[in-house]
């Protein structure tokens, strides 16, 4: 599965001014023809947030509001407790607290102390052939008349089973945050049906145009692969996150039910310790299903679009803003189905073998020119580099089909004389903005450094040359 830009951040629908943020980041001291990346990503502009930073904050606010409207505050607090426990672990000394609690009960009421130990056995539920064994027969400690000694033994006995229980359950914690946030994001989608329709319509438009492009490609006709590519394109489907909406919220609610049951059944243990133990027992109710998708991905035949892109479609500004973000990402992901590094998965590269080195050479050359820190461009990046080369011009051509020559006219709201075309390029390439020196995406061998992808993407683009009057300069 491949993704467009891992670092892309969700956009919030509403009265945001993405154009103003975008323009405030422009560095006029750097000519866009010399280093477009640093022109749109002012390296030393610490006082102004990037439009990605701005949108992340706005989106988080809307999700928090949506959470309060859609689910009870009590449920939200449980989620936050689970997330906190998952990131920080159990509180230090919880076994000491439990031991102290038993000692107090043992000194004051032997019967209550015995019931306390029996409850511990049921909570930890560590048995062999249906019976507790060794340290874990906590109720046997009630036979010890020395409460201090029994409490110390209990502390040692509790430590291991709780640790084992924590390890066994803790792998679920990482999913809790994803489940919750994805659920809220999905609920957000429900409120924005118009934007969902827009992106589906855009996908169908792109798919139709891609089929037209394939039919006009001489290499495909000459190599007798026309039908193969038409079939690959026809197979493409768009996937949206709506199907996870109800399942996600049900999962969280099931965890709350389990948590409440635990609190009620084991309340004799005392609230101080019990809350953590019951959270551990409740978390497995949240099913572990794949929520790793961060923005837009290709998992042929599906092009997966998250609501990361949907918010911008609610904006009433220039259509170039939509095509510079949503359109370019969508085209890039579609490109992954037809541009592949090898043939093992049954697909064929859209470009001829002679073109493949050209793609990489373009990026390698850019890498040597614009190197700021680490520079990664190898054959492993061909899939994404090729999808850049295919996707961004493809999206711009579709924008031109809609706007005509108006695409080269100034956006009325722009204070920097940005044309619709310039805004398109600013958004496509400003999406990977970084203030500091650029380093490759850690752990991802398929993406090159952002500055290289951005500069290489425009360096041979005729439309970029025309939009920024490179030929005149």
pLDDT at position 409 is 96
Indicate whether 79 belongs to any domain: no
Longest distance between any two alpha carbons in the chain, whole Å? 96
pLDDT at position 296 is 78
Indicate whether 263 belongs to any domain: no
What's 441's DSSP letter?
A: P
Residues 306 and 399 in one domain: yes
Indicate whether 413 belongs to any domain: yes
pLDDT at 63 over 80: no
Least confident of 2-11, 72-81, 270-279: 2-11
Residues 106 and 237 in one domain: no
Better-scored residue on pLDDT, 254 or 427: 427
Is the preceding peptide bond at 301 cis, omega within 30 degrees of 0?
Answer: yes
pLDDT at position 367 is 84
pLDDT tens digits along 358-373? 788 888 888 888 877 6
Q: Compute the average pLDDT of residues 4-21.
A: 50
pTM of structure: 0.70
pLDDT at 2 over 50: no
pLDDT tens digits along 311-355? 677 767 789 988 988 899 899 999 988 887 655 554 556 666 666
Pairing of strands 302-305, 296-299: antiparallel
Indicate whether 388 belongs to any domain: yes
Better-scored residue on pLDDT, 29 or 184: 29
Indicate whether 222 belongs to any domain: yes
Quick one: tokens of 345? 């998965």
pLDDT at 13 over 70: no
CATH number of the domain where residue 395 is located:
3.40.390.10
pLDDT at position 323 is 93
Residues 322 and 199 in one domain: yes
Q: Could you say which of 170, 200, 233 is where a domain stops?
A: 170
The CA distance from 5 to 263, in Å, is 44
DSSP conformation letters of 270-289: -HHHHHHHHHHHHGGGS---
* In contact, 179 and 252? CB cutoff 8 Å: yes
Range of the domain at 164: 94-170
Better-scored residue on pLDDT, 365 or 14: 365
pLDDT at position 265 is 80
Tell me the helix, strand and coil percentages in the chain, rounded to 5: 65, 5, 30
Give Cα separations from 455 to 37, 39, 395, 413 (angstroms): 6, 10, 17, 27
Indicate whether 46 belongs to any domain: yes
pLDDT tens digits along 206-264? 999 999 988 888 877 777 778 888 898 999 999 875 555 566 667 777 777 877 888 88
pLDDT tens digits along 128-186? 566 666 666 788 888 889 999 989 888 876 655 655 555 444 445 555 566 666 667 66
Residues 126 and 199 in one domain: no
pLDDT at 88 over 70: no
Supply the mean pLDDT for the chain.
75
Indicate whether 196 belongs to any domain: yes
Number of domains into which the chain is organized:
2
pLDDT at position 247 is 66
pLDDT at position 467 is 92
Quick one: tokens of 108? 């004051």
* In contact, 50 and 24? CB cutoff 8 Å: no
The CA distance from 150 to 83, in Å, is 34
pLDDT grade for 394, boundaries at 50, 70 and 90 = very high
pLDDT at position 293 is 47
């Amino acid at each position: 599965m491949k993704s467009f830009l891992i670092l892309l951040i969700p956009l919030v629908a509403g009265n945001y001014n993405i154009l103003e943020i975008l323009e405030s980041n422009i560095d006029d001291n750097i000519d866009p023809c010399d280093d477009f990346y640093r022109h749109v990503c002012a390296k030393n502009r610490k006082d102004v947030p990037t439009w990605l930073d701005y949108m992340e904050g706005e989106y988080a606010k809307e999700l928090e509001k949506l959470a309060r409207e859609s689910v009870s505050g009590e449920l939200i607090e449980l989620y936050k407790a689970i997330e906190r426990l998952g990131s920080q672990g159990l509180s230090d000394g919880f076994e000491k607290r439990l031991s102290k609690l038993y000692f107090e009960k043992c000194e004051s009421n032997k019967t209550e102390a015995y019931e306390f130990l029996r409850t511990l056995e049921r909570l930890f539920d560590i048995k062999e052939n249906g019976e507790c064994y060794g340290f874990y027969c906590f109720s046997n400690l009630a036979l010890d008349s020395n409460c201090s000694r029994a409490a110390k033994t209990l502390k040692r006995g509790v430590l291991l089973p709780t640790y084992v229980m924590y390890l066994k359950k803790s792998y679920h914690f990482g999913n809790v945050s994803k489940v919750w946030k994805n659920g809220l994001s999905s609920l957000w989608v429900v409120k924005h049906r118009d934007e969902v329709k827009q992106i589906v319509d855009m996908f169908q438009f792109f798919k139709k145009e891609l089929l037209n492009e394939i039919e006009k490609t001489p290499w495909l006709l000459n190599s007798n692969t026309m039908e193969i590519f038409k079939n690959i394109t026809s197979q493409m489907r768009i996937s949206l996150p709506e199907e996870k909406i109800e399942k996600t919220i049900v999962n969280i609610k099931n965890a709350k039910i389990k948590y409440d049951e635990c609190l009620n059944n084991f309340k004799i243990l005392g609230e101080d310790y019990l809350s953590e133990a019951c959270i551990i027992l409740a978390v497995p109710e949240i099913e572990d299903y794949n929520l790793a998708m961060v923005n837009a991905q290709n998992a042929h035949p599906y092009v997966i679009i998250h609501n990361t892109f949907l918010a911008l479609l609610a904006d009433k500004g220039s259509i170039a803003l939509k095509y510079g973000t949503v359109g370019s990402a969508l085209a890039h992901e579609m490109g992954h189905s037809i541009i592949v590094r090898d043939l093992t998965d049954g697909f064929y590269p859209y470009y001829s073998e002679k073109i493949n080195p050209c793609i990489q050479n373009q990026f390698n050359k850019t890498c040597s020119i614009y190197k700021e820190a680490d520079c990664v461009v190898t054959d492993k990046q061909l899939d994404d580099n090729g999808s850049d080369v295919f996707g961004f011009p493809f999206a711009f051509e579709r924008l031109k089909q809609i706007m005509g020559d108006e695409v080269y006219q100034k956006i009325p709201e722009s204070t920097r004389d940005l044309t619709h075309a310039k805004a398109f390029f600013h958004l496509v390439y400003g999406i990977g903005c970084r203030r500091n020196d650029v380093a490759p995406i850690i752990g991802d061998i398929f993406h090159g450094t952002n500055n290289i992808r951005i500069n290489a993407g425009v360096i041979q683009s005729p439309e970029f040359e025309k939009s920024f009057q490179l030929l005149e300069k």
